[in-house]
Structure 1
């Protein structure tokens, strides 16, 4: 006869398999079944919080990660997930508090990235820029750091710096948003041909129709108009 722990572990494996296959509903059902059998199980609460967070059900995700942390307050992955949920809810002070707790338990590199993301989402551009710079210094291949620094440089109207950072961000393929930002920067620099290439690359990676692209085409036909595609 299997022990309660073995049963819990089996449920976690089933929920993870469902989640990894994209079946979030099944993952939630398995976690909820597990919590009926093992109330307050911290691993099941953590996994359910992660699935709910992926579905953008933030209040329920928050409730379950808090339940997990109530049993295992020093679990670094749970603290990091709690930070991400708090950040998504706009509770930035709470997000930093979770990060401070996790920093004593997890790698400094991971904490730097999460701290930079939190400053970024909180709208603290100077702190975000400083944090992303530290991330890029530690990991020169970080496309995320280069892309975010490029976006922040563009917002400061430092177009040449922004272009260099964004080109660095997309050198290994890049994220669609980095290609779009590169298009914005080149467009503002009146490099319309290379801007079009960047926008085209973004559309290849994210083929959903974009109204802003048609606006951009219109702006290129009328150079005297605004070059911002919105």
Structure 2
């Protein structure tokens, strides 16, 4: 009687086969989810940090140091993009398994896909928004440093009281002197003096000539020795409004 050899079920796995099998064991849903959770937590933290810093810096710069409209526009775009990135990144942490019936395989698969796929898409968009915010911030800074700033106008006001007239009445008199240089030719320059009721007492409007110089002198009066005046000056990108009550003062104008 002839003895039959034991049946052979394929060849023994090679070293490469064992390596691929080990990789397959690492790519199971549970281990993949663990890696995604760790990476998402790290990415969310980075996006939240960078987005918050960009948003805060953009807001401060828009209010304080940025005066050119283009630079402000890019700064605002950076704030908006970084804010959306932070919101999206934080929403990625909201997905929960509290209502998951883990005994239901279909529910588990659906939850896994939402957790991995939707999270990945959301974080990808959040990352792109951060990149857009960084680019907008860079463009805003480049515009801000490349645009020539006009020198602020020098505004001096002097308030005096006139001598009594033939009826014994006295008047408050305000003299305003506005001077500036290196203003863009063709720019509108205006100075207006109003009384305490808002009525225009005197005003001057001109367009800056080719030399870029502005020189305006105005004088206004109002009844009484304690009358107050409102002075409004707008020259180029600069503007200022003040109530003149002191005998003499210099007005500091801010970028308009």
| TM-score category of the 2 structures, normalised to the smaller one | under 0.3
Q: Tell me which structure has the larger Cα radius of gyration.
A: 2
Greater strand share, structure number: 2
Q: TM-score, normalised by structure 1?
A: 0.25
Higher relative contact order (CA 8 A, sep 6+): 2
Q: Quick check: which one's helix share is greater?
A: 1
